Structure formats: structure tokens, C-alpha cells
Amino acid sequence: MQFLVVITTIALAASASAGVIVERALRYCDKQPYYDDKYTCYPQNGYLLCPISGGVIYQPCGKACFNPADYGCINGQLVPTGTCNGQVYDKNSYVCVNNFLCPKAFPNVCGTACYSLSQYHCENGHLVQN
């Protein structure tokens, strides 16, 4: 009889543990509930909750969230970004020419110098004034 009680006890314990639901810890960002595997709380940005999507932790910029692979934040304003030879840049201000960053006002490269076609042209890797 004791053997039957022990077997029954083990069977009940095993079936109970198989159906256990593990709860995730609910956190709060000020008064907003969230799960830290889905969102990041930024108290310094007015308790802004930014998503975590596809393993990417979105960053705060003022009251907006952004994917750092696509945007940057300059003085609280979102700016579209790109990468040029591994360097992140603001697409509103720069262009990437042959893996070299140039200001939009001088969008051509001659050697290692950026230039404007209205002022210069390139001969054999050297700038020549028009």
C-alpha cells in the first residue's frame, strides 16, 4: 500500500509540474505596465516606452522612439541616417560617394577631397579650379 501511495504522489507531482505556467514579471514605467523583453523604459524622456523589435532596442528621441539603424537623434530631432564605410551619418546633410562622406553642398570626391562641380573639376586625382 505504501508503494502505491509513493507512486501516486510522484505521478501527481510530475503532472502538476508539467502544467505550471511561468509568469513574466510585469514592470512599470511610471504608471504604464510593460514586459522588459518587449519594451524599454526611458524615465529621462518622460517615462517613454520604446519597443524591442526583432532584437533591436529602439532608442528615445524626445517623445519618439526610433530604430538606430535607420535614424539618429540630433538636438531632440529625428534625422535619417545611413552608414558610409562603417560611419553613421545624417542623410539630410551628407552623401556617401565611393565610401567617402561629403557634405551635400560638395557631393563629389577627387582623391580625398569633396568638391562642387560648379567650382572645381578633377584631373588625375587632383582638384583643378574651373
Q: Which residues of the chain have pLDDT under 70?
A: 1-23
- Tell me, yes or no, whether 104 lies in a domain: yes
Which structural domain range is residue 104 located in? 98-130
- Tell me, yes or no, whether 124 lies in a domain: yes
The C-alpha angle 43, 50, 32, rounded to 5 degrees, equals 60
- Tell me, yes or no, whether 89 lies in a domain: no
Q: Looking at residue 47, what is its pLDDT? A: 97
- Tell me, yes or no, whether 112 lies in a domain: yes
Q: Looking at residue 19, what is its pLDDT? A: 59
Domain total of the chain: 1
Question: How far is residue 102's CA from residue 65's CA, in Å, rounded to a whole number?
Answer: 28
Measured distance between the N- and C-terminal CA atoms of the chain, rounded to whole angstroms: 106
Q: Looking at residue 100, what is its pLDDT? A: 92
Q: Looking at residue 87, what is its pLDDT? A: 87
- Tell me, yes or no, whether 118 lies in a domain: yes
Tell me the residue type at 92: N
Q: Looking at residue 82, what is its pLDDT? A: 87
- Tell me, yes or no, whether 105 lies in a domain: yes
Tell me the residue type at 59: Q
- Tell me, yes or no, whether 54 lies in a domain: no
Q: Looking at residue 12, what is its pLDDT? A: 44
Per the listing, cell 508503494 goes with 3
Q: Looking at residue 43, what is its pLDDT? A: 95
- Tell me, yes or no, whether 2 lies in a domain: no
